[in-house]
Amino acid sequence: MSTVTTEAVQKTVTDALVSFGAEESEITKDTELTTLDIDSLDLAEMSQIVDDEYGVSLKSADVTTIKTVGDIIELVVSKA
């Protein structure tokens, strides 16, 4: 598993969002997921990715609080 730093998680999350179809140039910590067309199925995939990478398990209840790219990063870092 990877070392959990904000930078590392940010890269993991950004790479995942791009693989889901988001435009990399539009991704900042403040970007709302809806503007990237990221939905609950993408977040379910994201949960698998951060579980593989950092051993962090995101529950459905966690995911419902997520609004921005930064929210994902903070949640993963806080639970690692």
The site for another protein (CB under 8 A) is made up of 19-22, 37, 41, 44-45, 48, 52
The angle, 0 to 180 degrees and rounded to 10, between the axes of the packed helices 69-79 and 6-19 is: 130
The CA distance from 75 to 58, in Å, is: 8
For the CB of residue 71, give the shortest distance to another protein in the complex, in Å.
19
* Contact assessment for residue 72 and residue 46, using Cβ atoms and an 8 Å cutoff: yes
CB of 53: closest distance to another protein in angstroms?
12
Whichever of 28 and 60 has its CB closer to another protein, that residue is: 60
Q: Where are the alpha helices (DSSP H) in the chain?
A: 6-19, 40-54, 60-64, 69-79
Report the nearest approach of another protein to the CB of residue 28 (Å).
19
Of 28 and 52, nearer to another protein (C-beta) is: 52
